[in-house]
Amino acid sequence: MIFRLGELFCGPGGLALGALSAKVTCGREEYSIAPVWANDYDKDTCATYKHNICRDESSVVFCRDVRKLDMKKLSGIDALTFGFPCNDFSMVGEQKGMDGLYGPLYGYGIKALKHFQPKWFLAENVAGLKHANDGKIFAKIISEMCGAGYNVVPHLYKFEHYGVPQARHRIIIVGIREDIGLSFHVPDMLPNAPLTCRGAIENPPIPSSAPNQEFTNQAVQVVERLKYIKPGQNAFTADLPEALRLKVNGAKLSQIYKRLDPNKPAYTITGSGGGGTHVYHWKENRALTNRERARLQTFPDSFLFVGSKESVRKQIGMAVPSKGIMVIFEAILKTFANIAYRTTSSNLIHVLNKSDDAKGVFSKDKFLSINL
């Protein structure tokens, strides 16, 4: 059985790569996922997706604002993914929620569910979504997903426990159309996790021919500052000379000029890079290259990111780590194949059926009482 996949807010292809890698066999039947169309608004991002995911059929990537996407002209699908923009829900930033430019865009995922009625969907967002607007936004989104005819399972995945050498925590919502009568369960964490960032970057060494491996020309002051910062420290926890200290009030984010700890997973890779947030090597006095950052996001060295160095950095930081999401896709396939698999209830937000609340209004404590 092949599930035809449509993607909104597809990004450079992390979700698609994980979907293509997920395969399950039950008897003589193989269950797999095949991307058939994708949408994003950024030209470089779409070019990256076309090059790596569908080079021979690049016309299936629709590079435009989702608000101008005519869903009636898209082919039918069995599955939908949408990593709706997280800018207004992130714990870093103004947290505008539904009052921001990006907050309401999740609604186009709901629109697609109602239009295509796929057998299942997977939606992704930052952990801060759960707390946005005192939890009301999260409740509203879940309510609308259930109202579209799906039983949904929201869960906070800590990807360092799912084969990703990075402490990346994301809410993943899996929904299965209620008339199908199947129940998704959160897959258990992988054994032998977490992986270290040193292992991911150095084993094996990055080939000199690998794309996106350009080094940053570090400013002299940045190099001098890094000399005093030990692995795992940042510009505020290190013992810096007065001349190298940052004169910034209220901005003591742990990522500012923070070196990686080589014996732990990396801290969260983001799309930013200014003001000392590039992600810094544990030993060498420099920021990571984009290829090193891509390895921490589990992209293979053959995966070419298109665009300027700054554009590539943003694409990598906004992407979904393919190896981590593959585990979730495989759990979905096993659900449809009726194959048992190890599950977990740790960090489970709440399993919601449409019948949980006939009015579509969920109480705040139903979501916020769970310790994530």
Output phi, psi for 144, to 5 deg: -70, -35
Which residues are registered as beta bridge partners of 37?
Answer: 6
DSSP, collapsed to helix, strand or coil, labels residue 117 as coil
Helix axes 322-337, 14-21, angle to 10 degrees: 40
- The distance of Cα 49 from the centroid of its chain, to the nearest Å, equals 15
Which residues are registered as beta bridge partners of 353?
Answer: none
Q: What angle do CA 93, 97, 101 make, to 5 degrees?
A: 85
Judge whether 50 and 16 are in contact, CB under 8 Å: no
Tokens encoding 262: 């080589």
Burial of 142 (0-12, 13-18, 19+ CB in 10 A): buried
Tokens encoding 285: 């006095």
Q: Which amino acid makes up residue 12?
A: P
Judge whether 337 and 33 are in contact, CB under 8 Å: no
Look at residues 216, 201, 209, 212 and name the one whose alpha carbon lies nearest to residue 312.
212
From the candidates 10, 54, 86, 146, give the one annotated as an active-site residue. 86
Tokens encoding 170: 């994301």
Alpha-carbon dihedral sign for residues 322, 327, 332, 336: positive
Burial of 208 (0-12, 13-18, 19+ CB in 10 A): exposed
Output phi, psi for 126, to 5 deg: -75, 160
Tokens encoding 71: 């869903």
Concerning whether 54 is annotated as a catalytic residue, the answer is no
Output phi, psi for 14, to 5 deg: -60, -45
Residues known to be catalytic: 86
